Structure 1
Amino acid sequence: MDYVIVGIQPWDLPLGGNCKDMAQELSRTHRVLYVNPAVDWLTALRHPGQQSVPTSPLVPVSASCWVLTPDRHSCPTNWLPDGWLFDRVNRWNNRRFARIIQWAIDQLGFSAITLLNDSDMVRSFYLPDLLKPRQFIYYTRDNLLAIGFWQRHGNRLEPALMRKATLVAANSAYLARLARQHNPRTVDIGQGCDLRQFDPTVPHALPDDLARIPYPRIGYLGALNAGRLTIDWLLLTARSRPDWQLVLIGPEDDAFRQSALHELPNVHFLGAKPMAQLPAYLAHLDVAINPQQLNELTIGNYPRKIDEYLAMGKPVVALKTETMSLFADYVRLATTGPEFIDHIGGILDGQLPASPAACIAFARQHTWAHSVGMLVQAQHDFAPTQPAPVGNLRNEPV
């Protein structure tokens, strides 16, 4: 099969992403065109270095995978009120976007394409009608409608995209349940992870900045974003147990930079680290944590870092959510700050939720081969269903 993948993340995103990982896995047995999101002209003026177009907009990254970077800017639309004017401008943007994609499809000789849309509910809304794919898959991996930026137009557009999809694929049971309200042809394909770097059998030298921090080390690896993490739990933990060392590794948002955590002597911000260095830091932690916020954005989120933690055989304490129930036999799950602290203390006292070997084996079940395999099987199950054209849908933008 020939796949055209569009989404909201560019191929060269430093931390990687689901869409790129799926593209790489699909390209093992299929041909894949990965399309970088088009940048609007206002963003291009404000951030001129955000996206550089290569000499050729179409670049091979393997024998069966190509990356297309649009060489034309779109018109900014999110400032427009939702309604007929927005729809007209957005359709114009989509037509320009579709033309460059169709050019690449023709260059590569693709036919009877499968269009996979990773949550690009605005820039790619009309692509199923313009590109006329054999199948159209909408992929949901975050409840983006919980974010203000997406709400103005997304509250109308995302359900419409789901309804006209051949099938909707979700990476968690919670998101699949939400999507099923709009399209019964919804499948939970789980979350894939690339755990090759997170190998507990490989010895890792103790990083210099971590070596200066005494034990016990309780650590978090990932973006420090107050919209996703509970600063209050971290403050409570550090203040309640001054003998514990909280190690926070990752880029901070403004809320974290301005938080009282920086005033506590047992809280250590080590900054962002290259992905290749993360296993070394993780190897020398006593407990790995994920003190997630419980909100509309995170409740259905599948935190890939949990698999990375477990793959290294580390005991984990995390927020209890519907999605995290999948990990209940291997992770200590907390609903309150005091319970979060109690679970960390229990682990430090030797009360492990599961053996390191069991945790490692469980995490390594969550491969991209398994997730993508479920996606391809769902395609066969629903073939040869055609995506419904926008004009045949009620209350949809035209």
Structure 2
Amino acid sequence: MESKMITGRDILLVGLQPWDIAIGSNCKNVATELSKYNNRILYVNRALDRITLLRDRKDVKTQTRLKSLHHQANDLQEIRPNFWTLDPRTVLESVNWIPFKTPFDIINRINNRRMAAQIRQAIHRLGFKNVLLFIDNEFYRGQYLQEMLAPEVTDCIYYSRDNLATHPFFVRQGKRLEPKLIAKSTMVVTNSDYLEDYGRKYNPHTYNILQGCDFERFFPDQPFTLPDEMRGIKGPIIGYMGVMTVARLDLKILEHIATQRPDWSLVLVGPQDKTFQKSRLHALPNVHFIANVPEVKVPQYIQFFDVCINPQLVNGMTIGNYPRKLDEYMVLGKPVVVTRTLAMELFKDHVYQCDTPQDYVENITRALEERKDEKRVQGWIDFSLQHTWEVSLSKMSQHYFRLKKTQQSQPA
């Protein structure tokens, strides 16, 4: 019987997030899920660049990469059987500041060549053959890897899960480079219809495989206990879990909720950018910030939210974004209030959608009442449980199998 999942392959994963990142990561989840099916995995951590060396030299992740670079630690680490991470022994040039196309492309190609040299050494040492390259949104450092790693790399799947090319950091070159990488990839997978439509403009083999989520840690053997940081915070608690950055979140919505309903407690859990750190939210007595927590403890905090929110700022990056936090909220039976975007059409029967800050106040009020409806709560749970990594990557695998079968049947 044909497998529903890619199996028995050597798989190389390159993405924006290193294995030792503190927050959740789609790329890490993809690697972990694929490793369950007799695949050998090489997960490439981000190589150091000049600016990171100057700015973040004391960071733990930077120190880890430096130890590899100076041969004070192995560049290859086997974290479990048939699963390795690679800390490339190279330093890349920081290129994003370059405004002109030609010098950017020249230096970016040099960076790709340095990365490819380190990866090729690693896959040769591991004996990888017929390698499947999976690139997670990395359209700079992954731009030329498919051709530079040939013939060992035979196919490339590009994963578009965020419209990062519109982010202020990437917009100068990203809108030009991401379509190029999409076009030359064997196949493209996305987590929303919006990104599928975008990808299909450049590659007809683009498929929405929806979002995956790891729910195992949401159902522990013992009941969750109230985190120490939440003791003494009076309810109802309106909670947000995740990175707080003005590139994605609307500060005005949070300020409106907090000032209009001082009887509610707004609990925001996660790292903050500089704008959030300086915002007037810190002066409001009913707003409580909790620093970033380990991924394994995320459910423990969500469990004690009464209503969960995702107050996105609507822009090119968020309009088609599928926030996996929504499934994490709902699987614990929590009502979810969100900003209306194109991607939220999938959730229309299960979340409360808002167009204005006042809509948030009104919908949170409704949600506080309707969370008592057991049938509605069960609907939230059942809907979220449809979005596992096994389901998502099975979709990817089936599209890949069909594509390869079609290619093999075509005359040479």
TM-score by length of 1: 0.92
- The DSSP-based 3-state class of the residue aligned with 1:27 is helix
Which residue of 2, 14, 18 maps to 2:22? Answer: 14
Distance (Å, rounded) in 2 between the aligned partners of 1:17 and 1:217: 26
State whether residues 251 and 272 of structure 1, in contact with CA within 8 Å, keep that contact through their aligned partners in structure 2.
Answer: yes
Q: How does 1:173-252 map to 2 (within 5 A)?
A: 173-199=193-219, 202-252=222-272
State whether residues 309 and 316 of structure 1, in contact with CA within 8 Å, keep that contact through their aligned partners in structure 2.
Answer: yes
| Structure 2 CA distance for partners of 1:117 and 1:257, relative to 1, 3 Å | same
| Structure 2 CA distance for partners of 1:329 and 1:192, relative to 1, 3 Å | same
Runs of 4 or more off by more than 3 Å in structure 1? 350-354
Greater RCO between the two (CA within 8 Å, min separation 6)?
Answer: 1
State whether residues 22 and 368 of structure 1, in contact with CA within 8 Å, keep that contact through their aligned partners in structure 2.
Answer: yes
Distance (Å, rounded) in 1 between the aligned partners of 2:253 and 2:33: 37
| Structure 2 CA distance for partners of 1:124 and 1:326, relative to 1, 3 Å | same
- CA RMSD in angstroms, aligned pairs only: 1.9
Distance (Å, rounded) in 2 between the aligned partners of 1:368 and 1:104: 27
Q: Percent identity?
A: 43
What residue in structure 1 maps to residue 281 of structure 2? Answer: 261
State whether residues 82 and 152 of structure 1, in contact with CA within 8 Å, keep that contact through their aligned partners in structure 2.
Answer: no
State whether residues 4 and 33 of structure 1, in contact with CA within 8 Å, keep that contact through their aligned partners in structure 2.
Answer: yes
What residue in structure 1 maps to residue 386 of structure 2? Answer: 365
Between 1:252-261 and 1:338-347, the stretch displaced more is: 252-261
**Aligned length, in residue pairs:** 386
| Structure 2 CA distance for partners of 1:238 and 1:297, relative to 1, 3 Å | same
Tell me which amino acid in the other structure corresponds to 2:28.
K
Q: How does 1:320-331 map to 2 (within 5 A)?
A: 320-331=340-351
Tell me which amino acid in the other structure corresponds to 1:374.
K
Distance (Å, rounded) in 1 between the aligned partners of 2:295 and 2:157: 30
Which residue of 357, 360, 363 maps to 1:337? Answer: 357
What residue in structure 1 maps to residue 11 of structure 2? Answer: 3
| Structure 2 CA distance for partners of 1:159 and 1:203, relative to 1, 3 Å | same
Q: Deviation of residue 103 (structure 1)? A: 1.0
Between 1:59-68 and 1:201-210, the stretch displaced more is: 201-210
TM-score by length of 2: 0.89
Q: How does 1:1-398 map to 2 (within 5 A)?
A: 1-29=9-37, 30-49=39-58, 50-51=61-62, 52-53=64-65, 54=68, 55-132=73-150, 133-199=153-219, 202-350=222-370, 355-383=376-404
State whether residues 31 and 41 of structure 2, in contact with CA within 8 Å, keep that contact through their aligned partners in structure 1.
Answer: yes
| Structure 2 CA distance for partners of 1:206 and 1:89, relative to 1, 3 Å | closer
In structure 1, stretches of 5+ residues that fail to align are 387-398
Distance (Å, rounded) in 2 between the aligned partners of 1:270 and 1:83: 42
Deviations 1:98-131 (A, max 9, x none): 1111111111111111111112111221111111
In structure 2, stretches of 5+ residues that fail to align are 1-8, 408-412
Distance (Å, rounded) in 1 between the aligned partners of 2:112 and 2:228: 50
Deviations 1:34-89 (A, max 9, x none): 11122223422332244223421111122121111101112222233333322222
State whether residues 166 and 175 of structure 2, in contact with CA within 8 Å, keep that contact through their aligned partners in structure 1.
Answer: no
